[in-house]
Chain A
């Protein structure tokens, strides 16, 4: 891993039954990058992100995933120290994955589970620092007024901003966002993408975001990585993603993956 790299995936392969979800994928991510991960449905985008936070294992073999300076998983086994690494990686999900019956505040405070004392965390005795950080994050994303409401009473956009606030309370250095806007209306989607960009540019966080909408990838990310049937087929600048390359990735119906019009 080079000096500035915070994340390194080497020769990652993952098979589900007969299907190759990831096929020998290698990716180096430098600190402070904002990377869009694109590709058709089932191309392995989510599998790759979930493997980075060790929510699932990759196949045994040469594949290895290293975050910061320790392995997350290698040879098909999750590292015993994964919880320490996970505290520094915030994960944003398409379905938000907040705990519906808990208040938005509690959901955001859960971000501190990995770094406060075991029994404090078990009983929800949040330290003052956690409480302040949670409210600051909610305020920053414009959802502080919903702090006491149950998460499942909030709109998708509000829940997703809560989920990002949780990653902030976690003090994550890397944000992995798995289709963060796929379940949102266009206005909320833009809001969430702008928050992710702000976290990247102002807070210096490294962001990897999987996107269905290629125009969002081009607008918000300098570097784009494309997967197709588990293989990495493009890794380069957003500008280099020409019409021909898009047809190569998505097929002739590539215009379907644009929300606001494809490049001509």
Chain B
């Protein structure tokens, strides 16, 4: 290699002005955390240790789960899973057309953009809020939970589905179009086969997280294991609570493992 004439140029450095946006960003984050310190009661952190008597009682009971009612727990856990299954299924049925309509490469902007906005709104409403609305509409019980999960999940899945559709290869769709196929046939034969693995994976993933959400929905009276959990917590029956928690953890882990096994086979 030939030797270049002249002095070695200095290493790159950034001026204060170039660094200003970074400093502002980090400074802002730190300021926000400081402002939130008081309202979030972070000063109570030491209570974790000083209240140790309470914690010891709680911990002791937790280590002695009372499984005498296990049939009831399993029964309610199954009800929670049933709520999650129907909630997810209804969400998939809604998310397929919505996801296709919300894809940039499928529909013109005047269809795609409004649908996206609607999906954003649906997604931003928490399950619990939607659940309370449905409890007013259809009364206390599992069906309100199913509807709450279906609405929120359809918003999430439609968004994920549309992102998968936007990432497809245009070629096979044109190949199908060139045969003289109708638009619906283009979607069925050109688009769906390309997104099927990803869509299934997303749907399974949502089923996993819905089995957890369905537990929480018990809080507002949507039935299932969640309701049992909160009842026993409110009665300070920690040994029963512990048994219920064990049932929930085992069931949710089993669902996770099962769906992960299916998803890894798909990809």
Contact = CB atoms under 8 A, between A and B. Distances in A.
Interface of A: 53, 55, 83-91, 93, 95-102, 110-115, 118, 121-122, 124, 163, 166, 170
Given A95-B171, A100-B172, A122-B184, A86 B189 contact: no
A157 B175 CA distance: 17
Contacts of B188: 122
A113 B178 contact: no
B171 A110 contact: no
B184 A113 contact: no
Given A98-B172, A99-B172, A121-B185, A110 B179 contact: yes
Given A55-B174, A97-B172, A102 B181 contact: no
Contact of B179 (A100, A124, A170): A170
B180 A114 contact: yes
Interface string B14-50: 0000000000000000000000000000000000000
Nearest to B178: A91
A93 B175 contact: yes
B47 to A, nearest CB: 56
B196 A113 contact: no
A113 B176 CA distance: 8
Interface residues of B, number: 20
A115 B180 CA distance: 8
Nearest to A56: B174
Contacts of A96: 171, 175
A93 B160 CA distance: 30
B267 to A, nearest CB: 12
B171 A101 contact: no
Interface in B178-203: 178-182, 184-185, 188-190, 193-194, 196-197
Given A99-B193, A100-B194, A101-B193, A91 B175 contact: yes
Contact of B181 (A53, A90, A113): A113
Nearest to B195: A101
A79 B197 CA distance: 35
B263 interface: no
A97 B185 contact: no
Given A99-B194, A113-B189, A121-B185, A87 B172 contact: no
B177 interface: yes
Nearest to A166: B179
Contact of B185 (A84, A91, A122, A170): A122
Given A86-B178, A87-B180, A99-B193, 20 more contacts: A55-B178, A86-B180, A87-B179, A91-B174, A95-B171, A96-B175, A97-B172, A97-B178, A102-B193, A110-B175, A110-B176, A113-B182, A113-B185, A118-B182, A121-B181, A121-B185, A122-B185, A163-B175, A166-B179, A170-B179
